[in-house]
Amino acid sequence: MNKQIPTTHILVAAVICAVYVALGAFGAHGLESKLSIDQLDTYNTGLRYLIIHALGLLVINLTFIVKDTFSILTNIFIYTGMVLFSLSLVLHATKDLLGIEVDVFAMFAPIGGLCYIIAWILFAHTIKKS
C-alpha cells in the first residue's frame, strides 16, 4: 500500500478540524444573535457530526497505515457524509442569512447520515479482511 494516500486524507482531516474550530467560533460569537434557537441547534448538529467524522478520518487513515491496508470507498463515503449531512445542515440553518431561498438542504441530511453509516461499515469490513 502507498502510505502517501492515507497521509493525504489525514492532512485533509486536519484542515477540516481547523474549519470546524472557525465555524464553531463564528457560530458562538457571530450567529448567536442572528439565528433562532432551532437554527443554532441545527448548525451545531452539523458541526458536531463534522468534527466527529474529521477525527474519524484521522483514526481510519492512521489505522490503514498501521494495518497496511486501505479503502478509498471508506474515505469517499465519509467525505460525502460531510457534504450531504454536515454541510447541508449548516446551510439549512444559515440559509436566511445567506439569502438562499431554496429550502432543500435538510432533505440531503438523511442521505449523508446513511453515507456515514456505510463508511463505518466499510471501515470495519476492511480491517476485518486485513
Q: Which residue matches cell numbers 444559515?
A: 94
Give yes or no for a contact between 58 and 14, defined as CB atoms under 8 angstroms apart: yes
pTM above 0.85, yes or no: yes
Number of folded domains that form the chain: 1
Give yes or no for a contact between 126 and 76, defined as CB atoms under 8 angstroms apart: no
Question: Range of 59's domain?
Answer: 4-129
pLDDT tens readout for residues 12-36: 999 999 999 999 999 999 999 999 9
Residue 52 CA to residue 41 CA, distance in Å, equals 16
What's the Cα-to-Cα distance from 103 to each of 45, 49, 57, 93, rounded to whole Å? Answer: 18, 21, 30, 10
Identity of the amino acid at 91: L
